[in-house]
Amino acid sequence: MKRTHPSTLVAFTVGGLAFGYLGELALVSGGASAIVPPVSLAVTLVGVAAIVVAMAWPIRQAVRGSTTRRIDPFRAARVAVLAKASSVTGALVLGVGLGITLFLLTRSVLPPAGTIWMAVATAVGAALLLAGGLVAEHFCTLPPDEPDEEEGSAHA
């Protein structure tokens, strides 16, 4: 599995930004009130980021040789997939949070400051999830094989 490419993260962030802004615009244009994510969403995103990094830590220790405990390769693969999913989800939710924040800030009558801060908190929590996913993905990366060892075994 390849590591998450930055262009993928940028694409998901821009897509989320467009979805968040246009979704809020459609709601308010239709007469409904704007949807602002609660602070508990930001707290949950940060918690998930911490859990993903904590799950990847033993794999990092095993890859570096710091522990004698053997890690199940299927578990390592699952954690790597979870890390990749977390980074992509973090990018998408970051875009949505930024889109909602941008929508709220571009209104002629600004909503209460607490409303804007809740949207910003969602974006920050999503950014931490994105970063946690990328860190966990790095923890699950195997070091490159040394070419001397491969050539030595091929000639033997």
Q: Per residue in 24-56, pLDDT tens?
A: 999 999 988 888 899 999 999 999 999 999 999
Q: Per residue in 95-142, pLDDT tens?
A: 999 999 999 999 888 788 788 999 999 999 999 999 999 999 998 887
Query: Given CA atoms 121, 128, 86, 72 in this order, what sign does their dihedral have?
Result: negative
Residue 156, pLDDT above cutoff 50: no
Whose tokens are 């930001």? That residue is 42
Q: Which of 34 and 20 is assigned the larger pLDDT?
A: 20
What are the C-alpha distances in Å from 8 to residues 17, 20, 84?
14, 18, 11
Long-range contacts of 61-68 (CB under 8 A, 24+ apart): 63/139, 63/140, 63/141, 63/142, 63/143
Residue 150, pLDDT above cutoff 90: no
Distance separating alpha carbons of residues 128 and 20, to the nearest angstrom: 19
Q: What is the pTM of this model?
A: 0.85
| SS3 category, 66 | coil
